[in-house]
Amino acid sequence: MSKIIHAIYNDDDILMNAVKEVRKQHYHIEEVYTPFPVHGLDKVMGLPYTRIAICSFIYGLVGLSVAITMMNFIMIEDWPQDIGGKPSFSYIENMPAFVPIMFEMTVFFAAHLMVITFYMRSKLWPFKKAENPDVRTTDDHFLMAVDTGKSEVKDVTDFLATTGAVEINIMDNEDAH
């Protein structure tokens, strides 16, 4: 059974170098916990690019479509009104007045659906128990969780000690989260 090793660092530059070294040795990094965003860490870890921008664009198009459909139905088909002498015969004639509504609905749908998508993708549900393995990572320490896989635990811990880790803890795979 593989073990998870928690290597704790006290500097983000040391952490970045350690991640590079661990990846060179082909050990599997389960997760890295940091008290603040570390620029470039995702690239060093080899994480794939996010597709959330594509989702945002699609959600914006959905919001724009809802806005156009809503305004056409409400202001042209269902209850046409003469507001300030403006004609209400077609959507195109009134479109300049509808631009703010189209913009706001596009932003509204993109923003709200992006938040929902982020929470679903990150598995952050209401009342979910925190998965932070060490509370010091919310203050001033950095933790890299490395799966030993088929490697010997001693070999991995000895290697992590050379990367500048100030503390190394060995956890069972089910206890690590």
With cut-offs at 50, 70 and 90, classify the pLDDT of residue 177.
Answer: low
The residues near 134 (Cβ < 8 Å, ≥ 6 apart) are: 6, 8, 33, 141, 143
Higher model confidence: residue 90 or residue 155?
155
Q: What is the pLDDT of residues 97-156, one digit of tens each?
A: 889 999 999 999 999 999 999 999 888 888 888 888 888 998 999 999 999 888 888 889
With cut-offs at 50, 70 and 90, classify the pLDDT of residue 76.
Answer: confident
The pTM for the full model equals 0.71
Query: Are 26 and 172 spatial neighbours (Cβ–Cβ below 8 Å)?
Result: no
* Residue 87, pLDDT score: 67
What is the residue type of 99? V
Q: What is the pLDDT of residues 2-37, one digit of tens each?
A: 789 999 999 999 999 999 999 999 999 999 999 999
DSSP code at position 2: -
For the cut 70, the answer to whether the pLDDT of residue 176 exceeds it is no
- Within the chain, residue ranges assigned H as helices are 12-24, 41-45, 52-71, 91-122, 153-162
For the cut 70, the answer to whether the pLDDT of residue 169 exceeds it is yes
